[in-house]
Amino acid sequence: MNGNKLFDFRKVRCREDVDKIIIYATSPVMQVVGEAQVMEIIVDEPEQVWQITSEYAGITKVFYDQYFHNKERAVAYRLGNVKKYSKPRSLSDFGLNFAPQSFVYV
């Protein structure tokens, strides 16, 4: 939320029509704290994606390499227009009963 991280990394690409990502804070907050527009989706070999995103990845190269270990493709979502909610919202506000392990469409 402070602007240090402009990319969200995933092993699987979402549908084409996704234009917004809801930001969930894990424990101890365990609530939705904001949202961001998907400005661009980068899909390529992990090393190529790192070269493009590393300055604003918000994670270390070691962590990145561990996450994409033995993967042929990496996906990076470039985020913009980040909006922090004045009051965090529960997952049930979005029709969810539990935190997804990957992503879910709402």
Give the C-alpha separation, 36 to 23, whole Å.
7
> C-alpha 40: how far from its chain's center?
12
Q: What is the pTM of this model?
A: 0.87
Q: Mapping DSSP to helix (H, G, I), strand (E, B) and coil, where does residue 90 land?
A: coil
Residues 23-67 have pLDDT tens digits of 999 889 999 999 999 999 999 999 999 999 999 999 999 999 999
For the chain, domain boundaries = 7-85
- Is the model's pLDDT at 101 over the cut of 80? no
Overall CATH class of domain 7-85: mainly beta
3 pLDDT tier (thresholds 50, 70, 90): confident
Residues 5-22 have pLDDT tens digits of 899 999 999 988 899 999
Residue 40 burial (CB count, 10 A):
11
Q: Mapping DSSP to helix (H, G, I), strand (E, B) and coil, where does residue 99 land?
A: coil
pLDDT of 65 reads 98
